[in-house]
Structure 1
Amino acid sequence: MDDIEDRIFDSLCDSEQYLPILKFKSQLRKAGLRETDPRLAETMKNLAQFQRSVAEMEGVHSIHLDRDTFRKCVGDNIILISKAFHNNFIIPEFQTFCQSIDDLYWKVKSNTNGKVASYIPQLARYSADFWGVSICTIDGQRYSIGDVNIPLCLQSISKPLTYALALNEHSPDLVHEYVGHEPSGRQFNEIKLNADDKPHNPMINAGAIVLCSLLKQGSNLADRFDYTSEMFKKLAGNEHISFNNSVFLSERETADRNFALAYYLREYKCFPKGTHVMETLDFYFQLCSVEVTCQSGSVIAASLANGGICPITGERILNPYSVRNTLSLMHSCGMYDYSGQFAFDVGLPSKSGVSGGVMLVVPNVMGIFLWAPPLDIYGNSCKGIQFCEELVDNFNFHNYDNLRYTQRKQDPRLQKFTHRANSVVQLLFAAKNGDITALRRCYLSGLDMNLTDYDGRTALHVASAEGHTEAVIFLLEKCKVSPFECDRWDYTALDDAKKFHKTEVVTILEKYMSTNPKQQDNSQQK
């Protein structure tokens, strides 16, 4: 790190050896970092102080930094800044990824299916046109589009967070003495227990109510709520967390089913000893009435994706086992009665709420928070579901997208040139060795078998020069590669075979080229 400040400065400065502050900040934004990122606090403070001092003296608005000033301003945060400028974040081509998210956002926006929840007036007031998407990666890269700053209630999205906090406070064995971990196969608010006379899982109302009785037992209701909301805020990186008292009062006013559930639970001794049922219900309604925005919700999701460490503060809030168990149940039970289908189609942990929010976690990559109030028959956001499905159709985020021989999708975790270079090396090495199995693996994975190296040589060039007849036949007949492609010296694979006296390959290529003149015509047109 001795000269990293100098190298960054040299890459950005003008011919007079000055660096505009706006240009430096613009490069950080392109990498996904915001000026408000707590990890850049010292740098932004130093830059602001320098801007004020220069503006007061010279009355200018476009402030430029010299080398020494730049070093002083960025020194405290140089490790993070260095990662940004070296594209060492989890999503290296962040601008390209954001453009893909934009495309998905606008595609999904036209979805007019569903109805806004109306069982309490406060939810019914949400506009059906609201639609927001926010992303936060495990490196704290941020991107948002749409209605991402409007507060919305967590509702059932609070359930996995409550479960994670309970696991963080107690052992999994103790927690699961009171609640199961199997999908119920029934509606989320049904008055039904499993074979052991306890709620099926923490993602249904009965399970969430029991979990509320476990959090900070012995404390009064005010202290328990303060503790939980503070933990939510830490998961959100100290971004927007609030409380909607109107929703809380309405929830309590229209909670006949939940009251019935609570007394049913008490009848079957599902609560710990000493539990005050009415107080526990109030606590449950309070947690459902906590408000986030898409922006702060995405940081919560990213904290789960990051194993319990908030990406933008670096603080560990949850232990890894709490997060692991929470994500497991979100994957199997997080989308109401649509959970099985969602796990099949999307293959990622998620949780929805009747306010229209969907919290999606891509483990070790990012958290995504979606919001669109119109709901489907299961209580999930119609736009949110479609976005998740479209996302996994485009990117290899599904839990099983990385199986061998699976058709390859985009992997935003790879730099473009790195991905292509690795693919070329793999392909040409297989061709050089005449490794049909490796060539077949490349072909089945969806790799472009016409990829070229720096000299424009294809796998067919290499296999022909080496005299690997089976590899040549496989590339021609199975992969349908073009034998008319030329390298940088205008040599075809046939020229290479002749040059190295591979007579059998020459015969194969001449016969194939004579019987496939259309390929030659297409090649010449190019």
Structure 2
Amino acid sequence: MDEVRAQERLVEWFGDVCQDVHGRLAALTDGEPASYIPELANVDPDRFAIATVAVNGQPTLLGDHEHRFTIQSISKLLLYGLALETHGRDQVLRRAGVAPTGDPFNAIELDDALHRAPNPMVNSGAIAITDMVDGDSFEERADVVLALFERYLGHRPDVDDAVCASEYSTGHRNRAIGYLLLDQGIIGDRVEETLDLYFMQCSILITTADLAMIGATIANNGVHPVTGERVVGPKVARDMLTVALTCGMYDYAGEWAYTVGIPAKSGVGGGIVGMIPGVGGIAVFSPRLDEHGNSVRGIRVFEELSQEFDLHVFDADQPWNP
């Protein structure tokens, strides 16, 4: 059997395993949708989808893969890549470091010694990064963000206005973080505009298939698997993967790196995207969350796939590289 056919059989096997995992975990009802954003509490808790996209663009789609949900904190990873592309590593590191934190994602804290947020995947770091989006008005900056998503998705995304309004009306903690960043000289004085932009980016609507395409693009050194467009440079993609592995799963990141070992980012909307460099993206959507804000079913899916296929970044015998 030649190498191409072996890879095709492996993809078929992967799809079969994903289907089995989806069927079994659909009965798992642990966790609850996010309630601190009122609009998110109204979602159907039993929605469940798994999607994968290989770096050659080949998809595997299971369950509610066409259902749209808000990207929430997964947007932080994409905005981080945009900031690196636009301003360079040094400027970004002045705003947010790369240190994992065991504190919750919405903790009101900064790196006091270096006067920056601990990392770009917690809210303080994400708001600092969003402040770096160029433009002379909210409208111009929003267009930059939506154009970024369009390059990843292959289509212009919509924003869930109801979720955005819900985030705006309850986002007092993020406002506190924003003004703390201003006080420390980490962001400029257009705090409310940057917060509006942050609420908007979190409210962008995607499907699980979209999310897998995002993961595949980053895993493909920043090149979109279908359009062939370079979305970010290879070094930026590497930095995105690194921060995703160490900081992408909220304060569960250490356990995730130990048990799953796949660069990933989660969001309280119920999505998780994983990226296997040179192979593709894996996405799961299920809005029942654990105490860290991660999808309960999503974590189980990744645990089982990582074990079945030796996907941990430090596994020596990954079947994807025979």
Q: TM-score, normalised by structure 2?
A: 0.95
Is residue 141 of structure 1 aligned with residue 41 of structure 2? no
2:49 paired residue number: 132
Cα distance 1:228–1:88, how it changes in 2: closer, same or farther (>3 A)?
Answer: farther
The RMSD of aligned alpha carbons is: 1.6
Q: 1:339 aligns with which of 228, 249, 253?
A: 253
Amino acid at match of 1:229: L
Amino acid at match of 1:188: F
Question: Secondary structure in 2 aligned to 1:119?
Answer: coil
| Greater RCO, CA 8 A, separation 6+ | 2
1:353 shift after superposition:
0.6
Cα distance 1:175–1:90, how it changes in 2: closer, same or farther (>3 A)?
Answer: farther
Question: Secondary structure in 1 aligned to 2:18?
Answer: helix
- Residue identity over aligned pairs, in percent, reads 36
Is residue 213 of structure 1 aligned with residue 127 of structure 2? no
Question: Secondary structure in 2 aligned to 1:183?
Answer: coil
Question: What is the alpha-carbon distance in structure 2 between the residues aligned to residue 87 and residue 125 of structure 1?
Answer: 48
8 Å contact from structure 2 (residues 279, 320) kept in 1: no
1:92 shift after superposition:
2.1
Amino acid at match of 1:162: L
Aligned 1:179-198 pairs, distance under 5 A: 179-194=96-111, 195-198=113-116
1:413 shift after superposition:
5.1
Question: Secondary structure in 2 aligned to 1:242?
Answer: coil
Question: What is the alpha-carbon distance in structure 2 between the residues aligned to residue 107 and residue 283 of structure 1?
Answer: 39
1:451 paired residue number: none
Is residue 116 of structure 1 aligned with residue 33 of structure 2? yes
2:214 paired residue number: 300
Q: 2:280 aligns with which of 340, 362, 366?
A: 366
Aligned 1:448-459 pairs, distance under 5 A: none
Is residue 329 of structure 1 aligned with residue 247 of structure 2? no
Question: Secondary structure in 2 aligned to 1:368?
Answer: strand
Question: Secondary structure in 1 aligned to 2:95?
Answer: coil
Question: What is the alpha-carbon distance in structure 2 between the residues aligned to residue 131 and residue 221 of structure 1?
Answer: 34
Question: What is the alpha-carbon distance in structure 2 between the residues aligned to residue 392 and residue 305 of structure 1?
Answer: 16
Question: Secondary structure in 1 aligned to 2:142?
Answer: helix
Q: 2:118 aligns with which of 171, 192, 200?
A: 200
Question: What is the alpha-carbon distance in structure 2 between the residues aligned to residue 359 and residue 90 of structure 1?
Answer: 26
Is residue 249 of structure 1 aligned with residue 195 of structure 2? no
Question: What is the alpha-carbon distance in structure 2 between the residues aligned to residue 123 and residue 87 of structure 1?
Answer: 46
1:96 shift after superposition:
2.5
Question: What is the alpha-carbon distance in structure 1 between the residues aligned to residue 295 and residue 273 of structure 2?
Answer: 11
Question: What is the alpha-carbon distance in structure 2 between the residues aligned to residue 349 and residue 96 of structure 1?
Answer: 22
Question: Secondary structure in 2 aligned to 1:92?
Answer: helix
1:120 shift after superposition:
2.6
Question: What is the alpha-carbon distance in structure 1 between the residues aligned to residue 74 and residue 240 of structure 2?
Answer: 12
2:82 paired residue number: 165
Aligned pair count reads: 319
Amino acid at match of 2:28: N
2:271 paired residue number: 357
8 Å contact from structure 1 (residues 189, 257) kept in 2: yes
Is residue 312 of structure 1 aligned with residue 229 of structure 2? no
Is residue 233 of structure 1 aligned with residue 150 of structure 2? yes
8 Å contact from structure 2 (residues 54, 216) kept in 1: yes
> Cα deviation per residue 1:392-425 (whole Å; 9 max; x = unaligned)?
11002111111xxxxx57x1555xxxxxxxxxxx
Question: What is the alpha-carbon distance in structure 2 between the residues aligned to residue 358 and residue 107 of structure 1?
Answer: 18
8 Å contact from structure 2 (residues 245, 253) kept in 1: yes
Question: What is the alpha-carbon distance in structure 2 between the residues aligned to residue 166 and residue 153 of structure 1?
Answer: 21
Q: 1:286 aligns with which of 192, 197, 200?
A: 200
Cα distance 1:90–1:151, how it changes in 2: closer, same or farther (>3 A)?
Answer: farther
8 Å contact from structure 1 (residues 90, 137) kept in 2: no
1:97 shift after superposition:
2.2
> Cα deviation per residue 1:21-80 (whole Å; 9 max; x = unaligned)?
xxxxxxxxxxxxxxxxxxxxxxxxxxxxxxxxxxxxxxxxxxxxxxxxxxxxxxxxxxxx
Question: What is the alpha-carbon distance in structure 1 between the residues aligned to residue 25 and residue 309 of structure 2?
Answer: 16
1:225 shift after superposition:
1.0
1:271 paired residue number: 187
1:87 shift after superposition:
7.2
Question: Secondary structure in 1 aligned to 2:94?
Answer: coil
> Cα deviation per residue 1:219-260 (whole Å; 9 max; x = unaligned)?
31111111211111211233x721111111110100110111
8 Å contact from structure 1 (residues 91, 413) kept in 2: no
8 Å contact from structure 1 (residues 335, 380) kept in 2: yes
Question: What is the alpha-carbon distance in structure 1 between the residues aligned to residue 6 and residue 270 of structure 2?
Answer: 28
Question: What is the alpha-carbon distance in structure 2 between the residues aligned to residue 398 and residue 120 of structure 1?
Answer: 33
> Cα deviation per residue 1:252-276 (whole Å; 9 max; x = unaligned)?
100110111111111111115xx40
Question: Secondary structure in 1 aligned to 2:8?
Answer: coil
8 Å contact from structure 1 (residues 188, 337) kept in 2: yes
Which structure 1 residue ranges, 4+ long, deviate > 6 Å from structure 2? none
Is residue 261 of structure 1 aligned with residue 187 of structure 2? no
8 Å contact from structure 1 (residues 189, 206) kept in 2: yes
Question: What is the alpha-carbon distance in structure 2 between the residues aligned to residue 121 and residue 296 of structure 1?
Answer: 25
Cα distance 1:223–1:89, how it changes in 2: closer, same or farther (>3 A)?
Answer: farther
Question: Secondary structure in 1 aligned to 2:78?
Answer: helix
1:90 shift after superposition:
9.4
1:185 shift after superposition:
2.1
Gaps of 5+ in 2: none
Question: What is the alpha-carbon distance in structure 1 between the residues aligned to residue 244 and residue 260 of structure 2?
Answer: 12
Question: Secondary structure in 2 aligned to 1:342?
Answer: helix
Q: 2:67 aligns with which of 144, 150, 165?
A: 150
Question: Secondary structure in 2 aligned to 1:176?
Answer: helix
